[in-house]
Amino acid sequence: MLRLRSSVHHSRAEDFGSLLRELDGVRRVVQQADEAATEAYVFVADVEPVAADRLVEAVGEFGIEDGDYVLTRIEVVAPQHRHHLGEGGVDGYSWIEVIGQARANSRLLARYLALINVAAVIAALGVITSSSILIVGAMAVSPDLLPICATCVGLVARRYVLARRAFITLTLGLGLVVVTAAVLSFLLKVTGLLPDGFAVENSSLTNLAHTDYSTVLIALAAGVAAMLSFETKASAAVGVAISVTTIPASAYLGVAIGGGGIEHALGAAAVLAINVSLLIVSGTLTLLIQRWLPNRSGAPI
């Protein structure tokens, strides 16, 4: 459930109140005097997610400035009869929220770089020691799902600046994984800490550098899961599954470069490029289908 709070000049309060009450999905409209502005009224209303886009459009057409209203998400405990009966989305996700999430996750933030760097170290050690547990740990840390989904949202919304910024963030992040893994493996090699006779092609994770039909199917499926989790804010849990297509191959590529076995790096690079491309393709198609098909309440996402 979403909640609208808006401040309106008293001369337009009656019209604005009528507008809110006439919109489907907007309920419990409350009007009260604004104590901070003697000539204004504050409106508070509950908004179902499926009505959020129509509401924002209507508020804009009414002439309310962006700084004069706020739309926030609130947790609904009970009752949720409409949800249980399958008649509407009190727990749904509005398109305007998807756009907002994409904007936030398209930026190259310090926290993103820190987490991706930690994932690189763990994954590189996983490749070197042939430890599947470390690879899974690296996938759990990696935040690469967020810019992937932000890229898809930008493409579907035709906000190409957003898509480009998110893709650059993703590319730089995965590039950092390669560089960090290469530097780490090189330092281990020159200090004698790399296992004797280490060869990246002898790692039990050598399949990370080979492409077959499973690579394609996994990446396509992961893209669908990525977009659905991004919309429902379950990205923390699903991010592990998404990173199986990106972080291990990036780390393998870095270890091949820094620890020896550069001739095996091209295979990992091809796997990484294919996976990222298919993730974006399937994620974008998933979002397009959702926008084309009506949801349970008959309104487009």
pLDDT digits (tens, 9 = 90+) for 114-148: 999 999 999 999 989 888 899 888 988 888 888 99
124 and 261 share one domain = yes
Q: What is the mean pLDDT of residues 37-64?
A: 86
Integer Cα distance of 29 and 150 in angstroms = 33
Q: What is the pLDDT of residues 74-83, one digit of tens each?
A: 776 655 555 4
In 157-210, alpha helices (H): 160-190
Q: What is the mean pLDDT of residues 176-203?
A: 87
Indicate whether 273 pLDDT > 50: yes
Q: What is the pLDDT of residues 217-226, one digit of tens each?
A: 988 998 888 8
Instruction: Give the percent of the chain with pLDDT over 70.
Output: 86
177 assigned to some structural domain: yes
Q: What is the per-residue pLDDT for 85? A: 38
Q: Predicted confidence band at 34 (pLDDT cuts at 50, 70, 90)?
A: confident
Q: What is the pLDDT of residues 288-300, one digit of tens each?
A: 888 777 544 344 4
102 and 78 share one domain = no
37 assigned to some structural domain: yes
Indicate whether 84 pLDDT > 50: no
- Of the residues 63, 92, 121, which one is the last residue of a structural domain? 92
**Average pLDDT, rounded, for the chain:** 83
> At 187, which CATH number?
1.20.1080
pTM, whole model, 2 decimals?
Answer: 0.74
Q: What is the per-residue pLDDT for 48? A: 85
- Of the residues 92, 119, 144, which one is the last residue of a structural domain? 92
Q: What is the per-residue pLDDT for 54? A: 86
Q: What is the per-residue pLDDT for 234? A: 57
Indicate whether 41 pLDDT > 50: yes
Residues 6+ apart with CB under 8 A from 37: 7
65 and 210 share one domain = no
Indicate whether 91 pLDDT > 90: no
86 and 153 share one domain = no
Whether residue 185 contacts residue 258, with contact meaning beta carbons closer than 8 Å, is answered with: yes
101 and 88 share one domain = no
Greatest alpha-carbon span in the chain? 81
142 and 173 share one domain = yes
163 and 247 share one domain = yes
> At 12, which CATH number?
3.30.70.100
298 assigned to some structural domain: no
Q: What is the CA radius of gyration of the chain?
A: 24
Strand partners, 42: 7, 32
Indicate whether 92 pLDDT > 90: no
Q: Number of structural domains, the chain?
A: 2
> Poorest-confidence range of 9-18, 24-33, 61-70, 79-88?
79-88
146 and 34 share one domain = no
> Which of 198, 220, 201 minimizes the C-alpha distance to 209?
201
Integer Cα distance of 294 and 287 in angstroms = 12
73 and 168 share one domain = no
Q: What is the per-residue pLDDT for 236? A: 52
87 and 102 share one domain = no
Which amino acid does the sequence have at 81?
Answer: H
DSSP assignment, residue 157?
T
- Of the residues 92, 126, 161, which one is the last residue of a structural domain? 92
Q: What is the mean pLDDT of residues 151-167?
A: 93
For residue 21, the enclosing domain spans 2-92
Integer Cα distance of 244 and 227 in angstroms = 16
301 assigned to some structural domain: no
107 and 69 share one domain = no
267 and 177 share one domain = yes
